[in-house]
Structure 1
Amino acid sequence: MKRMKWVLFVFALFFTCVLQLGRQEFSAKALAPVKRDNIGLGPYWFEGKAEISHYTLSQNRYRDVHPGEAVLVFVTEPFLTDKQVKNEKGNQENSTTVLKLNAIQRFTTGIYDYSVMTSVFTPEDLKRYPHSLKTTSSSQDWCGQTYMQVNNEKDNFKVEIRSYFENEADQNLDLPKALLEDEVWTRLRMGPDALPLGAVQIYPSAMYLRLMHKTFKTYPAEGKLEKYAGSEFSGEKLKVYSLTFPELERKLEIVFQNKAPYLIEGWMESFPALGDKQVRQTIAKRTHTVMEAYWQKNGLKDLPLRKELGME
């Protein structure tokens, strides 16, 4: 009897190790791009300017789809990997080049309005840094504010959540590393080969989680890269990258040009809305794009430049 128990124990231990190894292999395959040698940033991104694109926005919220606008600002900058802030002093150790995205979305919901901003800092060297170093997201509306920050530390993600809402309140979390939906946008601009395909465990976008008051955790999703065959966006040889989340009944589709620098023409996002749980679709469509050192254009005389972006 003792021998039988020992055999069963050894078998159970071996089986557990096999399962764990399988999980590790799945995670590695899900996170690693297939063709890293084709990924990178060309001279377009190193002219000392930012790419600024304006989009009309129809935002799924509550029981309607609301009007608004979105702005995506992409720019490269030196970033400190230890402090995880911009390198402003030059020639510092632990500094690397990142592609930064500041995504701003503003929309009204009846009498009151929302302003949501997400920042993503993704290293150009994806071989050395397979995960973005940092993401932050904040949401402001007439009810209150929320803020979330994810820092890529040595062994895990350090997550801070600050919220006006009782069920979220203040949280400090240590979570396992996995793909962040928010970094899909910067990885796409480095080249479609940097996008995860097939089954993947992913943290959904901070904007979606905070507005829907959902737990920050990974969800199973499926990534696809296809030719765009829809009618919402016009252009030659467009591509669409999609992430489908069965558990959330949610799908994100990003439509972009098929040549570097892979300009994003817009996106569509469908999910059950708060209030009546009806699935509705958010749609954003690009209207204008400029390359501009906007940080130098901060005087009253520079106000007319907003018209070049379709913002008056």
Structure 2
Amino acid sequence: MKCTGEEAIAVAQGMILSREDMGFPTYRQQGLLIARGYPLATMMNQIYSNAEDPIKGRQLPIMYSAKDYGFFTISGNLGTQVPQAVGWAMASAYKGDDKIAISWIGDGATAEGDFHNALTFASVYRAPVILNVVNNQWAISSFMGIAGGLDTTFAAKAIGYGLPALRVDGNDFLAVWAATQWAEERARTNQGATVIELFTYRGAPHSTSDDPSRYRPGDEAEKWPLGDPIERLKQHLIVLGEWSDDQQVEAEKDAVEQVRAAGKESEAIGTLGQSRPSVKTMFEEVYATEDWRLIEQRREVGV
């Protein structure tokens, strides 16, 4: 699951919010973890479900979970994270702290009932939450128009619930930053939720098992009028005199080296099937106090 073309969204928003705030992501917000310094090797361990998998083999690959980094466990059921984010934000408000929640959902999943239930609760209870709709033009193979994107904007869905809505160029890092900062200030000062539609483009296949040439033109990504978010930010910084082409080349080289080093570190522990979490972990972290059945089953397995 790649986030090519959508990098500005998770990175900019992750830099605005703190780790104590809770993010409820989809599988294209890897940038939230990377920008906050989460170890790349740990991400790879989870993908391989090896002996150092932090989720101990209990989740599908790329469905990361990192509470200490403000990253709620990714859900494979689309849309479920939005009411979860609203509920977490409501709990935060009830406790009287200043932590807020932020969620992301794709354009297709706005047709799910969970999305509309979340908007209702967010509006009625003035939940301190930011609700993002990442309109990357494509669900798995369905154009965003099938989810109603041609009839109106996805941001407009917030109006019926009495929530403020913003529609932002999701490929403009600074625009994403500014919109998120405005919504963050509203949530932090008890003014309620904000819905942000981030207009972007999924440049890569939906997943490694997807062939986008079967449902969209092969050169569509190259001709996307809003361009590439990384290239746009690079050019902006160069014009300001804060960056250069040479620095960009060096930064990209360094990034590749970091990924390769992390890959070697993770593969040394083991890839899928070569290394796995201990069997005893399947009896742990389910109940605060082990049920007698678990004790018996653990004894039968010999762990």
**Larger fraction in strand:** 1
Same fold? TM cut 0.5: no
Q: Which has the higher contact order (CA 8 A, sep 6+)?
A: 2
TM bucket normalised to smaller: under 0.3
TM-score, normalised with respect to structure 2:
0.27
**Larger fraction in helix:** 2
